[in-house]
Amino acid sequence: MSERAEPPQSTAQRHGPGEAAPDPRPGDFILTHGDEWTSRLIQWGQALRFQGEDRKYTRWNHTALIVGTDGEIVEALGTGIAERNLSEYAGTEYHLVRIDASPADRAEEAAFARFCLGAQYGYLTVVSIALTLLTGAKLDFGLDGQLICSGLVARALERTAALFTRDPSHMMPADLAKIFAVEPPPPGTPKGVPLRRKRGAR
């Protein structure tokens, strides 16, 4: 299980395609839709883990941590851990999850994320999660210093009062959505298209 007895204090705001989130704060995070093959693989894995009422949380397959007041984000992509800007997701919807944390904790979250810059993507972690979901066995392996997108955000959130019963490095975006009680919009609401797909990057 990945739930706490009580969910962390937070609020989530949806921003549709073309809508910019006002006043992003370091330590908050976004749930959104990636278009890389790793994001699509995570989407598939989430559909195995989240069934019934919880299936709604599989809407998101990517997450990133806000690290600056001008929308700077740190995220784990297939090419590794990189710093970019929230404006990269102007073409798609995302939910900005504003957490309840002290300025010191927020600064520590951002510092941790930036410390991870240049690290490799956790492909072995994805394999570990996939085998666990397919076999039901509790397999938990990966390489130190490698992270997937949701693992990066979850480990940063550990710098606050957030506590997780699932290994943070093996959490998926849907885990974060459920823990922080992020509700999806009504069925059929347009998701938009990630900006980098429009640019033909991948």
Residue 145 has pLDDT above 90, yes or no: no
Q: Give phi and psi for 190, each to the nearest 5.
A: -60, 140
User: Other C-beta atoms within 10 Å of 173: how many?
Assistant: 31
Given the structure tokens 């606050």, which residue do they identify? 160
Write down the pLDDT at residue 131.
65
Quick one: what percent of the chain has pLDDT higher than 70? 80
Rounded Cα distance between 156 and 113, Å, is 7
pTM (2 decimals)?
A: 0.85
Predicted confidence at residue 134, as pLDDT, reads 60
- Over 50: is that where the pLDDT of 98 sits? yes
Question: Which of 34-48, 55-69, 94-108 shows the lowest per-residue confidence on average (mean pLDDT)?
Answer: 34-48
Contact (CB, 8 A) for 202 and 62 = no
The whole-number pLDDT of residue 165 equals 80
Mean pLDDT, residues 31-54 taken together: 83
Residue 196 has pLDDT above 60, yes or no: no
More confident residue, 144 or 174: 174
Nearest CA among 64, 107, 66, 95 for reference residue 196: 64
Architecture per CATH, 10-182: Alpha-Beta Complex (3.90)
Domain boundaries, the chain: 10-182
Among 77-81, 105-109, 195-199, the range with the most confident prediction by mean pLDDT is 105-109
Tell me which amino acid residue 202 is. R
pLDDT of residue 129: 66
Where is pLDDT greater, at 35 or 81? 81
Confidence of residue 141 (pLDDT cuts 50, 70, 90): very low
Q: To 10 degrees, the CA torsion angle through 164, 169, 171, 172?
A: 150
